[in-house]
A and B are shown apart, each in its own frame.
Chain A
Amino acid sequence: MRIRAQVAMVMNLDKCIGCHTCSVTCKQTWTNREGTEYVWFNNVETKPGIGYPKHYEDQDRWKGGWKLDTKGRLVLRGGGRAKRLSRIFANPDLPAIDDYYEPATFDKDILVNAPAGLKDTPVKQPYSKLTGEPMSIEWGANWEDSLGGDSGKDDPNFRNMVEKVTFEFEKTFMFHLPRICEHCLNPACVSACPSGAMYKREEDGIVLVDQDRCRGWRMCVSACPYKKVYVNHATGKAEKCTLCFPRIEAGQPTICSETCVGRLRYLGILWYDEEAVLAAASVPEEELLDAQRAVFLDPFDPDVQRAAREAGHPEEWIEAAKASPVWKLISEYRIALPLHPEYRTLPMVWYVPPLSPVLDAAGAAGRDDTNADDIFHTIDDLRIPVAYLASLFTAGDTAAAGGVLMKLAAMRAYMRARTLDGTVAQELLDGIGMTGAQVEAMYRLLAIAKYDERYVIPAAHRGQAAALEELGGCSLDGEGGPGMGGGGRVPVTIASRRNP
């Protein structure tokens, strides 16, 4: 066993209202620069929808992630090492800028400087940030917001579903899905990087791009099935979500978590066994979810704690792992699920699937969501939403997805009975195999957990990185960092680039 720590995230999708605050604060922090105009390390998409970039989940087209070859060995979907190198001159699996969107800006001066007494109201015209020419905006990172447009029916997740989700207003099933880099245990981007510039940090599992060693081969962009590695077209280097490592090192949550209005994000550490990763990524599809859960080590197990100590992990980390909300949601309550486990990258941002849209559909069907039998039957009957969630979170296993929804529904009904009637709905607890204390703790974590319960980021770094806490700006602005503004050396290749 080789024990490692991973800073992981869980998002409770029931609480996401799709306000995009996470996206905006992330963009202000990391990607408000030339060359990254189209880049959203954090984006919020509406599901069902084709997402950002368009159809990113369609791996037949983009060849992201891993697959098992005919002999059952784990291989990159984009091909082996030699095949990938042979395509280095023109990568056939690279999304074009139009698959994201053409970034635009507006000439607002015209509104301010227009003379008085004009017959027509002055309007601001969008200009392309790529060409500087006037353009019409036809797509964006959240173009499908709240099922806008009709692209949602092309969602790649419908491909394996017999019945299709209807998009009629009164039957709408939708929810928001915030996405960042998954900081996978078996990252395809790292594995596809020809230069070896991408790496997984030994201390906390954060996946980063070494800006000094990236040579712009752009294989990471194709290999990432979540399309969360981006090419900065000004620097010619790959960039990605850093899990706000300067903040994590200082014991602070990521910017997206910190500013989340719905308080739906949880951050904590997990112990995992690095030597078990490859085997867990190589099991048949129907076993993937359980195999991924089995890679995580129980922070309360004395053997695990001893192994962590022997591996040199500080005592604070061992304590933090025990208090980790992520461990609770993934392994103790088992209500968090990984996004597309079938990509076999072992993603480390997990999701509590949304119950509300399911219950809305149940309410429309005239069900009673306080009755245990009715709840469980309702979820059984709601094949379309459950199958859709299964295609997102359980590699198509509707029983696993339905099981999580039943726990969430039972928790609501149990808490309602307890607070309103003062009764204990034992049949609900029996139905989901949890104790009353567990359900109440789960309810507390999901509904009212405070800042320090939602973000348990070990303080071990704090001694070293106390200086970072009052940083104020982006540490990557420094020498060689993607912030680049730092007044240091100016790269030769971009020195003479004409400014728009």
Chain B
Amino acid sequence: MSTLVWIVLPYACLAVFVAGHVWRWRHDQFGWTTHTSQLLENRLLRLGSPLFHLGAFGVIGGHAMGLLVPASWTAAAGVSEHTYHLVSVTGGTITGVMLVAGLALLIARRFVSGRIRRVTTTMDRILYAAMAAMVVLGMSGTVVINLLGDGYDYRETLAVWFRGIFWLRPDPALMSDAPLVFQLHAIGGFLFLALWPFTRLVHVWSAPLAYLWRPYVVYRGRRTPAPAAQPAPAAVRKVVTPSS
């Protein structure tokens, strides 16, 4: 059981994550979009979206710091355990609260606005539910256990297991004694990665940083010299569905 959850599941999820993105990139460029709905609702989005995105940047950065940087490194750099704890809990709480508030607003507008409700896909619902579950688990880990409770030193256990996955040496024993909230958050995290390529989250990989240095006006030639002949009008007409 422990092998299944702490070794097989992570690798399976990562495989889906990678293969899913390759498939989506190759077969669904047309669906690869933020799927913006600002046109339809702006009031809640104007506050919720920046909160959510900036909070998410902080949370992702915090996860990278906590999971990827071994405790021995920070100790060697002269950062005391207390300082590290202070920084991580404060940072995690602030960015986490931003993320929670932003996500709450974004979910609320899906319910409040009839226009948005109408364009919300099943995949959007799954994504919002998964994200909400992850955030609740993560925040209860940070706030309930590490800020208010006795604390749990994930850096010596969870983080080591996590890095082990990438060294192809994951040690399931490290996870078996972790608090349930952390266990669920870790499992959920990998399931979330597996969900990622099938949602609008793929827009993250298209973050338009290249815009900062590309020339303003883009010129492009017609790639194909001659458009191919099209099917007969009757066949073409068939696919035009009248709007309801």
List chain A residues, Cβ under 8 A from B123.
492-493, 495-496
Within the complex, what minimum Cβ distance (angstroms) separates A154 from chain B? 21
| Contact A199–B219 (Cβ < 8 Å) | yes
Within the complex, what minimum Cβ distance (angstroms) separates B110 from chain A? 13
| Contact B212–A216 (Cβ < 8 Å) | no
Tell yes or no: A25 within 8 A of B by CB: no
Tell me the A residues contacting B by CB distance below 8 Å. 32-34, 37, 81-82, 84-85, 88-92, 94-97, 105, 129-133, 186-187, 190-191, 193-196, 198-203, 211-218, 231, 233-237, 246, 249, 464-465, 467-468, 470-475, 477-478, 480, 484-487, 489, 491-500
List chain B residues, Cβ under 8 A from A196.
208, 210-211, 214, 218
| Contact B211–A131 (Cβ < 8 Å) | no
List chain B residues, Cβ under 8 A from A84.
211
| Contact B28–A215 (Cβ < 8 Å) | no
List chain B residues, Cβ under 8 A from A236.
33-37, 200
Q: Which of B53, B114, B214, B227 contacts A246 (CB under 8 A)?
A: B227
List chain B residues, Cβ under 8 A from A201.
219-222
Within the complex, what minimum Cβ distance (angstroms) separates B83 from chain A? 31
How far is B214's CA from A236's CA once the two chains are assembled, in angstroms?
A: 24
How far is B43's CA from A97's CA once the two chains are assembled, in angstroms?
A: 12
How far is B220's CA from A120's CA once the two chains are assembled, in angstroms?
A: 61
Q: Which of B45, B228, B232, B244 contacts A105 (CB under 8 A)?
A: B244
Among the interface residues B27, B53, B211, B226, which one has the most CB atoms of the partner chain A within 10 A? B211
| Contact A249–B217 (Cβ < 8 Å) | no
Q: Mark B171-212, 1 if CB is under 8 A from A, else 0.
A: 000000000000000000000000000111001001011111
* Interface size of B in residues (CB-CB distance below 8 Å): 66
How far is B216's CA from A143's CA once the two chains are assembled, in angstroms?
A: 36
Tell yes or no: B63 within 8 A of A by CB: no
| Contact A235–B217 (Cβ < 8 Å) | no
| Contact B29–A85 (Cβ < 8 Å) | no
Tell yes or no: B40 within 8 A of A by CB: yes
List chain B residues, Cβ under 8 A from A486.
239
How far is B222's CA from A202's CA once the two chains are assembled, in angstroms?
A: 8
CB-based nearest A residue for B37: A233
How far is B228's CA from A467's CA once the two chains are assembled, in angstroms?
A: 7
CB-based nearest B residue for A485: B239
Knowing A90-B50, A487-B239, the reply to whether A497 touches B211 (Cβ < 8 A) is no
| Contact B115–A216 (Cβ < 8 Å) | no
| Contact B229–A467 (Cβ < 8 Å) | yes
Within the complex, what minimum Cβ distance (angstroms) separates A30 from chain B? 12
List chain A residues, Cβ under 8 A from B244.
105, 499-500
How far is B217's CA from A212's CA once the two chains are assembled, in angstroms?
A: 19
| Contact A492–B227 (Cβ < 8 Å) | no
| Contact A465–B114 (Cβ < 8 Å) | no
Tell yes or no: B78 within 8 A of A by CB: no
How far is B123's CA from A486's CA once the two chains are assembled, in angstroms?
A: 23
CB-based nearest B residue for A200: B219
Among the interface residues B30, B34, B38, B214, which one has the most CB atoms of the partner chain A within 10 A? B30
| Contact A472–B232 (Cβ < 8 Å) | yes
Tell yes or no: B240 within 8 A of A by CB: yes
| Contact A194–B29 (Cβ < 8 Å) | no
Apart from A90-B38, A131-B117, 7 more pairs, CB < 8 Å: A85-B211, A90-B42, A193-B218, A195-B206, A202-B220, A237-B33, A494-B121
CB-based nearest B residue for A493: B31
Tell yes or no: B149 within 8 A of A by CB: no
How far is B226's CA from A475's CA once the two chains are assembled, in angstroms?
A: 13
Within the complex, what minimum Cβ distance (angstroms) separates A391 from chain B? 27
B:97-133 near A, CB below 8 Å:
114-115, 117-119, 121-123
How far is B119's CA from A129's CA once the two chains are assembled, in angstroms?
A: 11
Tell yes or no: B39 within 8 A of A by CB: yes
| Contact A231–B39 (Cβ < 8 Å) | yes
| Contact B220–A231 (Cβ < 8 Å) | no
Can you pick out 11 interface pairs between chain A and chain B where the beta carbons lie within 8 Å of each other? A94-B39, A96-B42, A97-B40, A195-B206, A198-B218, A201-B221, A215-B206, A467-B229, A472-B236, A493-B31, A500-B244
Among the interface residues A94, A215, A474, which one has the most CB atoms of the partner chain B within 10 A? A215
| Contact A473–B240 (Cβ < 8 Å) | yes
How far is B39's CA from A96's CA once the two chains are assembled, in angstroms?
A: 5
Within the complex, what minimum Cβ distance (angstroms) separates B186 from chain A? 27
Within the complex, what minimum Cβ distance (angstroms) separates A159 from chain B? 25
